[in-house]
Amino acid sequence: MNTEQELKDVVKEKYARIAEQGKVENAASCCGATTPSNKVYNIMMDDYTDTEGYVEDADLGLGCGLPTQFAQIQKGDVVIDLGSGAGNDCFVARHETGAEGKVIGIDFTPAMIKKARTNAEKLGFHNVEFREGDIDDMPVNDNTADVIVSNCVLNLVPNKPKVINEIFRVLKPGGHFSISDIVLIGDLPEALQKDAEMYAGCVAGAIQKADYLGAIETAGFNNITIQKEKTIVIPDDILGKYLSAEEIQNFNNGGTGIYSVTVFAQKPGGEPKVAEVKDEACCEPGSGCC
């Protein structure tokens, strides 16, 4: 599992299986890709049930944040969701952009695209479409989107700077993104780094927080802001698949941090449709907001 294509194949195969299951199965088994007792997917999820536009049938419980909550979507916007799954964030975004806007979901798993399209047809949402493709080579023209959202997907892509450059290309001048994803501070044990299940479960593929934010800046974005941050704790029964008791203790006490961060950034140019996000508007550290 060394090449980019091999990593993509691992993710595609596992998420194809997930697409055939519902949220209850996935939540009971941390996504349902293997046996029920020890998986890493759903330990990160946030609760959408009070979110306007939420569609339960489209929620597979695979995210690590609520990016649409922070995305400042306006009526008439064109919104793109990267790694759209069964359509959950697309349908929330559609509530915000309204019938006069447009939402495009991109996913590279055919089973997910099929499930999302079925959900959209049931709902009668004619301004929500789903395109099969890689998010590091989006099937979208330049300067298309007002807003891009994504929920716990970039960490699954081997070449993250390439995805970020694609986001820059596809956004209109003045457009912005709000993306929830997993980042690290410190190094994971080697056994976790090399495991396919941990990669597909959004942990082993995460990069250092500083590198993640640096890649966004290098791509040309400005007004880069962490809108929310929360600590992800991997239960010991999951870690026990990979580490000895002593290694688990060392990992838990070793200073390595796994975090879900929701990051906002704008593409320069044009007339930004949202006000600049100020750092001082963020909640106090430790409050769970910032």
Q: Where are the domains of the chain?
A: 4-269
- Joined tokens for residue 48: 């959408």
Quick one: pLDDT at residue 257? 84
Quick one: pLDDT at residue 146? 98
Quick one: pLDDT at residue 198? 58
250 vs 126: CA distance, rounded Å:
52
> 238: part of which helix (H) or strand (E)?
helix 236-239
**Which sign, positive or negative, has the C-alpha torsion 87, 49, 231, 74?**
positive
87 vs 268: CA distance, rounded Å:
29
Quick one: pLDDT at residue 287? 42
Quick one: pLDDT at residue 31? 34
- Joined tokens for residue 147: 């807003």
Task: Output the pTM of the full model.
Answer: 0.83
Tens digits of residue pLDDT in 162-173:
999 999 999 999
Give the domain 4-269 fold.
Rossmann fold (3.40.50)
- Residue ranges in the chain whose pLDDT is less than 50: 1, 27-42, 199, 278-290
Rounded to 5 degrees, φ, ψ at 177 are -125, 155
266 vs 238: CA distance, rounded Å:
37
249 vs 272: CA distance, rounded Å:
48
Please provide the average confidence, as pLDDT, over all residues in the chain: 82
Quick one: pLDDT at residue 195? 60
Question: Which residues neighbour 141 within 8 Å (Cβ) at sequence distance 6 or greater?
Answer: 170
